[in-house]
Every structure is written in structure tokens, then in C-alpha cells.
Chain A
């Protein structure tokens, strides 16, 4: 977990509300990722970033957007949360596209 902070750690929200999760790193790594983890599905990539203002979609990007205005911060936004977005969200960073270092996760419940 060193060098990666996710906030909030837990969040409960209602369907239809916007939600923003934050990932902050102190490692100055170029690559940042957002994954969600669900039972029976494993870790699935939502969006990733390969530099400031450079982002791309992953395999489950519908309903999510991201922004990276600074090297250290990568924000994940659910524009209008749905119950299917209840999940554990992990941020990960990497210096070189190889092994990832994960944050502690955010447990999001959409009621």
C-alpha cells in the first residue's frame, strides 16, 4: 500500500447520485489504473492512464469516467450510480507497464 492512498475507504450512496473516488500516489509513477473486483469476475479494468490527461478505456468502462490533471491524482467518477456498480474498487500504479502496486481499495455500496 505504500505510496498509494484511496479515498474514501468506504462509501454508501443512493442510486442516481454522482460519486467520485480518488487515488493519490506519491511514487511519481506514470501509469495509473482503476479496477473493480466482484465475486465471480475477478479484477476487471475500468480505465487507465498513461500520463497527465492521457486516459483510455478498459473492459468495463460504461458508466464511468476518469480524470488525471496531475501525475499524483487519478479520479474515478460514477456519473449516476447504479446498484450494479456496487463493488470494491482498486487503484493501481506502475512505473513501467509491468507489475502493478495496488491501493487498499474502496468498498462502494449503491442502494
Chain B
């Protein structure tokens, strides 16, 4: 059974702090790792990391995939109250064809206080 574990489960910081969210996985036939941000409703896509693209950056957010350690981190620098959300990590894996599926971690609830 594929597993994705995120830590911490929740985190409270002050505006301007830098945070690091963790995601580790145990899956068969890894294909990609994705990060999503969920504010009030639907999760929205942030990054996708694969064997050929292990580091992504967008503004204050960046993510790295460590294939050796089977993990990824999501960094947010100079946090703002608008960064408050649940951050979801998902791993795509499968045996090929139409068997690829996403397995989600439980998420990290980030609260940024002014």
C-alpha cells in the first residue's frame, strides 16, 4: 500500500517567518510528487516534481525532491497571512498504463499570524 506522510500536521508562525513543510513517501513505481494548496475549498496546484525536475521555485515558494531519501520539502519564505492554508503533498505512482494514481498525505495546516 502506497503511503505519504506529511509533517508537521499543523504549524503556527508569524508573518515574515520562513517555514519548511515535509513530505515523505513509500510507493511502488514512483512517477511524480505534487504539492497543492487548499484554502477554503478546492486544492490548487503548486508544483510537480519528477525524476527529471527535482527543484521548483515560484516567488516565495520553492520545493525540492530528494529521491534518495524519498522525501520532499516545501519552503515558504517571508510568510504572509495569505499563505495560511492546508498544504497537501501527493505522490503519483503505479504500474503503468491507466494504473497511475495519486496518494495524498493528510496535509499540513499552516497558520500565519500578523
Quick check: B32 and A98 within 8 Å, CB to CB?
yes
Quick check: B106 and A40 within 8 Å, CB to CB?
yes
Quick check: B98 and A50 within 8 Å, CB to CB?
yes
Quick check: B45 and A101 within 8 Å, CB to CB?
yes
CB-CB < 8 A to B102: which residues of A?
Answer: 33, 45, 100
State which of A42, A44, A99 has its C-beta within 8 Å of the C-beta of B48.
Answer: A99
Could you say which of A14-22, A69-77, A102-110 contacts chain B?
A102-110
Q: Using a Cβ–Cβ cut-off of 8 Å, how many residues does chain A contribute to the interface with B?
A: 26
B60 beta carbon closer than 8 Å to chain A: no
Size bracket, chain B contacts: 20 to 34
Please give me the 8 A-B residue pairs with the lowest Cβ-Cβ distance, nearest first: A102-B42, A42-B106, A50-B98, A43-B104, A97-B100, A42-B104, A99-B45, A104-B41
Quick check: B101 and A43 within 8 Å, CB to CB?
no
Quick check: B106 and A54 within 8 Å, CB to CB?
no
Bound form: Cα–Cα A107–B88 in Å = 19
Further pairs besides A43-B104, A105-B41: 18, Cβ < 8 Å: A1-B41, A33-B102, A42-B88, A42-B107, A44-B104, A51-B98, A56-B98, A90-B42, A90-B43, A97-B31, A97-B98, A98-B32, A98-B48, A98-B92, A99-B34, A100-B102, A102-B44, A103-B42
